[in-house]
Amino acid sequence: MNARVSTHLAPAEALDALRDVAPLTQCITNAVVTNFTANALLALGASPAMCDLPGEAGMFAGIAGSVLVNLGTPTAEQREAAREAARAGTPWVLDPVAVGVLPVRTALAEELVAQAPTIVRANASEVLAVAGRASGGRGVDATDDPDSAADAAFCLARRTGGVVAVSGAVDLVTDGTDVVRVHGGSALLTRITGGGCSLGAVMAAFLAVASPLSAAVAASLLYSVASDAAARVAHGPGSFAVAFLDALAATTSERLQDAEDRLAWATIEVAR
């Protein structure tokens, strides 16, 4: 089902809407995280589809509710599939993994940013690299914090006309006018494969039912709540990964509503 809705929703409302629709979420993502990403979407209540073949990717994007393009392992086939999907007109998320330090994915990220992704989800070093402000982090690891990338995120959001979500200890989400900081969340997310990449997929799933800013905020808040719940019962990264999937499924809209005090909203006053 292609539920292309542009509605401003509170996180709790967005979660209810997503679970009512079970949006078909196409993932062109990296080989390391494919299974965990699919499981995260299923736990959330979405319907994952790992369709990344050239000749099919663009066609499938036309019927999907939303698309994730993750550049973690950009094979030649995935690069062409990403180009096809980005041209389909379906809301989509770009996750520019390890851009800045590696030339193939950096060039592809520049090309895809020109296609105006609905959301760019990345760590601070990746956002700085995509915005042309720095050369990237240490592979997939950030060497910068979200506040240091705030100005770059504002400018990138205005350039694409979409939303930029900067992941970190406190996530920063902006559409170039409003900025939302999402507090909380367990550091164990950084100790499992797919903790960040699957967040991009969850943002894509929310894009099928909510506006870009609402989708990015709802996904970030859900991750904050679910990861904290998982950390309370986990004994380490392995048990955390399983508990996190359970927590994604168990988190209710009422729980998200109760957690909205983790959100700090502001308006950007200085034009950049």
* CB proximity list for 221: less than 8 A, separation 6 or greater: 11, 182, 256, 259, 260, 262, 263
Q: How confident is the model at residue 269 (pLDDT cuts 50, 70, 90)?
A: low
| Euclidean distance between CA atoms 119 and 88, whole angstroms | 15
Encode pLDDT of 149-163 as tens digits: 999 999 999 999 999
Confidence (pLDDT) at 2: 40
Q: What is the DSSP string of 98-140?
A: TTTTSHHHHHHHHHHHTT--SEEEEEHHHHHHHTTSS---BTT
Q: Name the CATH superfamily housing domain 11-267.
A: Ribokinase (3.40.1190.20)
Q: Which residues are annotated as a binding site for ATP?
A: 121, 167
Q: How confident is the model at residue 139 (pLDDT cuts 50, 70, 90)?
A: very low
Share of the chain above pLDDT 70, in %: 92
Q: Which residues are annotated as a binding site?
A: 50, 121, 167, 194
The mean pLDDT value for 176-193 works out to 96
Encode pLDDT of 50-83 as tens digits: 999 999 999 999 999 999 999 999 999 999 999 9
Whether the per-residue pLDDT at 270 is higher than 70: the answer is no
Beta bridge partners of 120: 94, 164
Tell me, rounded to whole angstroms, the distance of Cα 18 from its chain centroid.
Answer: 15
Confidence (pLDDT) at 136: 54
- What is the dihedral angle through the alpha carbons of 42, 243, 37, 152, rounded to the nearest 10 degrees? 120
Q: Which residues are annotated as a binding site for substrate?
A: 50, 194
Task: Enumerate the domain spans of the chain.
Answer: 11-267
